[in-house]
């Protein structure tokens, strides 16, 4: 999955305006560490944004979060439901470590615009980083139900399934130490965690609701 341009958090938490891999100690019984290759939406470089939001997206890429937030809030002051401004605000909150606020922002978006896949994807990435893989899986499935060709969500979902598989193989091996099959499968899954993220960034996208009357 593809990183964004700010920090590792953006890289991992933003490919939906933009999703999961790290070596996991063999003795670990708790959920494995968050995947590093998870891709979330990143600030859009594509047409369709107002000049103010396009500049806010550029500010995010430059790490100028205060400037970006001022522009985003100015748009929201006159258009409180604007999905692009709200999405960008969630991106800023994620980058700045305001995870609870980012979750609330993206959840509000999926409630108001359930047809948009990007907020589901970014929620999934946050939950995967927290080890909440079942919640991440459900969010990604909803994203793909809305947009089956969403490649970023497909890759993120594959990583989530890999994490879930590793947890179950680890439990099986712990319960039955003679179970060589589970041990071998666990070793194979852990090899996947060492695969680095793609060097090619996924195309950035920005949520664009369908015209009124269409879904």
Q: Both tokens of residue 214?
A: 């269409």
Q: Is 196 exposed, middle or buried (0-12, 13-18, 19+ CB in 10 A)?
A: exposed
pLDDT at res. 39: 63
How does DSSP classify residue 178?
T
Q: Both tokens of residue 101?
A: 């606020």
Residue in 203, 197, 163, 215 with CA at minimum distance from that of residue 38: 197
pLDDT at res. 187: 83
Q: Is the pLDDT of residue 201 over 60?
A: no
Cβ partners under 8 Å of residue 170, min gap 6: 28, 29, 186
Tally the C-alpha atoms within 13 A of residue 149's C-alpha that lie toward its C-beta.
Answer: 2
Q: Both tokens of residue 188?
A: 């194979």
Task: Give the Cα separation of 158 and 35 in Å (integer).
Answer: 11
Q: How far is CA 73 from CA 10, 23, 44, 141, in A?
A: 20, 40, 17, 31
pLDDT digits 0-9 by tens, 133-163: 999 999 999 999 999 999 989 999 998 988 8
pLDDT at res. 90: 94
Q: Is the pLDDT of residue 127 over 60?
A: yes
Query: What domains are defined for the chain?
Result: 8-192 (1.25.40.10)
pLDDT digits 0-9 by tens, 82-116: 999 999 999 999 999 999 999 999 999 999 999 99
34 pLDDT band, cuts 50/70/90, is: very low
Separation of first and last alpha carbons in the chain: 28
pLDDT at res. 15: 36
């Amino acid at each position: 999955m593809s990183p964004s341009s700010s920090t590792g958090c953006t890289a991992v938490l933003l490919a939906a305006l933009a999703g999961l891999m790290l070596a996991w100690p063999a003795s670990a019984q708790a959920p494995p560490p968050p995947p590093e290759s998870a891709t979330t939406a990143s600030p859009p470089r594509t047409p369709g944004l107002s000049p103010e939001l396009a500049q806010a997206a550029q500010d995010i890429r430059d790490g100028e979060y205060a400037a970006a937030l001022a522009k985003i809030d100015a748009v929201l002051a006159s258009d409180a439901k604007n999905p692009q401004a709200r999405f960008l605000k969630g991106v800023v909150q994620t980058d700045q470590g305001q995870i609870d606020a980012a979750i609330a922002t993206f959840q509000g978006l999926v409630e108001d615009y359930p047809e948009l896949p990007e907020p589901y994807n970014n929620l999934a990435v946050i939950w995967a980083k927290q080890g909440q893989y079942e919640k991440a899986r459900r969010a990604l499935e909803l994203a793909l139900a809305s947009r089956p060709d969403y490649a970023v969500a497909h890759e993120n979902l594959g990583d989530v399934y890999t994490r879930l598989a590793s947890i179950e193989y680890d439990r099986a091996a712990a319960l039955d130490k003679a179970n060589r099959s589970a041990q071998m499968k666990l070793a194979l899954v852990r090899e996947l965690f060492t695969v680095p993220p793609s060097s090619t960034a996924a195309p950035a996208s920005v949520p664009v609701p369908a015209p009124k009357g269409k879904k």
